[in-house]
Chain A
């Protein structure tokens, strides 16, 4: 009678005790010694696991920083303060890097005329491969939002116009959106540059005028008005030299197509 009660209790307790002991023994025997600095570095990384550094996630990058002394600058999303703290943990000096932000070089949207009505997969590379893309301008944003989906920080939203809007506060310049854009419309520009050109068309003025109402027609008005010679027209497109630009805003006023913008 008593064994009917005892057998299950003892068996379960015995099993539990046995496995508990085995596990605690194994925890000692097979303990993996890891560098405590890896955890400290990991805590200071952005933690988005975006993979822009080319290593598997932030934990892989933290391990590579500590073990192989890989450059912290490889993490494009890491803020300046965090990079300094990591450098302190490792006891190394940090060379300053310029902060950047992703910018869209097209403001066509619905104003860029359609070549045909595209009804295929709602995906930028697929659209770009269909008869050279559904827009007449070869440099126009296709507006299917691959960049918004690729952004690990939620910095890109699609406007009703069908154009990506980049929140420069959230953008960490990781470069994910630049990789996925089939038309290379996104570029990293210095964060300190407050003015940027919202077009990347190298088409001659005649073509631009016929396909888009907000394309650069290379009129050179910005070039003439700039007091610092910071803006030049190269291959039918205005380009700003951020080393010279003082953000006076004169080019913005003079541009007839309204495609030079203040960064929001």
Chain B
């Protein structure tokens, strides 16, 4: 347990290494679902949920399956398989046991099964918290935390973007800029702003 590391995971994933605005992962939902605030929040919640649980599960798969058999090179395909089937499973269970939550996350859950941001956070966990095939002390907790706060960072970016785009709807833009082009410009400006955080060292 290293409090400094935990703090750096929290701040780092939300602001400094924000998945969308710094690492450029998960850009598809960032542009596609950020037109209104309500869907953006639902999408953000779904991403937090899936990222946290996939981090936990892929940690288990890596630690107990890939490392003992010395087949770490199968990491990507295994993680995709695990995440996709796991999200399917969660979707079924949720539909049966908690329909209201299912309708809140709704169509966004299957959308993110193979999202690169979800795979990205799991691969990053393995790169950061496993040294020479062995997990560092507390790597399970770090992985779960990294998954959760990467999701929070994703949601923050989605919320900011949707807020801006809702207001952008009312602005009198030239026709060629309306819609997606304006969104791209806004996204790059936001990204530039978030790049400013890289100066901080934790």
- How distant is the Cα of A122 from the Cα of B175 in the complex, in angstroms? 13
B88 in contact with A30 (CB, 8 Å)? no
- B69 interface contact, C-beta 8 A: yes
Could you tell me the distance in whole angstroms from the C-beta of B165 to the nearest C-beta in chain A? 16
B88 in contact with A23 (CB, 8 Å)? yes
Q: Which residue of A lies closest to B172 (CB)?
A: A122
- How distant is the Cα of A20 from the Cα of B93 in the complex, in angstroms? 16
A residues contacting the other copy or chain, number (CB 8 A)? 19
A10-34 interface with B by 8 A CB criterion: 11-12, 15-16, 19-20, 22-23, 26-27, 30-32
- B65 interface contact, C-beta 8 A: yes
- B27 interface contact, C-beta 8 A: no
- How distant is the Cα of A20 from the Cα of B89 in the complex, in angstroms? 10
A30 in contact with B69 (CB, 8 Å)? no
- How distant is the Cα of A20 from the Cα of B70 in the complex, in angstroms? 24
B68-90 interface with A by 8 A CB criterion: 69-71, 73-74, 77-78, 81-82, 85-86, 88-89
Could you tell me the distance in whole angstroms from the C-beta of B146 to the nearest C-beta in chain A? 23
> Chain A residues near B65 (CB, 8 Å)?
11, 15
- How distant is the Cα of A30 from the Cα of B93 in the complex, in angstroms? 6
Question: Would you call the interface of chain A mostly helix, strand, loop, or mixed?
Answer: helix
Fill in one digit per residue for B78-116: 1 if any A CB lies within 8 Å of its CB, else 0. 100110011011001101110000000000000000000
Q: Which residue of A lies closest to B66 (CB)?
A: A11
B71 in contact with A11 (CB, 8 Å)? yes
Known: A15-B82, A122-B172. A26 touches B69 (CB 8 A): no
A22 in contact with B172 (CB, 8 Å)? no
A135-169 interface with B by 8 A CB criterion: none
B residues contacting the other copy or chain, number (CB 8 A)? 24
- A121 interface contact, C-beta 8 A: yes
B85 in contact with A19 (CB, 8 Å)? yes
Known: A22-B89, A26-B92, A30-B92. A16 touches B81 (CB 8 A): yes
Known: A7-B69, A11-B71, A30-B93. A19 touches B81 (CB 8 A): yes
Known: A15-B82, A16-B81, A22-B85. A8 touches B71 (CB 8 A): yes
> Chain B residues near A8 (CB, 8 Å)?
69, 71, 73-74
> Chain B residues near A15 (CB, 8 Å)?
61, 65, 78, 81-82
- Subset of 22 A-B contacts with CB under 8 Å: A7-B71, A8-B69, A11-B66, A11-B69, A11-B78, A12-B77, A12-B78, A15-B65, A16-B81, A19-B81, A23-B85, A23-B89, A23-B92, A26-B89, A27-B92, A30-B93, A30-B97, A31-B96, A121-B170, A121-B171, A122-B172, A126-B170
Q: Which of B's residues lie within 8 Å of A, judged by CB?
A: 61, 65-66, 69-71, 73-74, 77-78, 81-82, 85-86, 88-89, 92-93, 95-97, 170-172
* A-B contacts besides A26-B92, A121-B171, 19 pairs, CB < 8 Å: A8-B69, A8-B73, A11-B65, A11-B66, A11-B71, A11-B78, A12-B77, A12-B81, A15-B65, A19-B81, A19-B82, A23-B89, A30-B92, A30-B93, A30-B95, A30-B96, A32-B95, A122-B172, A126-B170
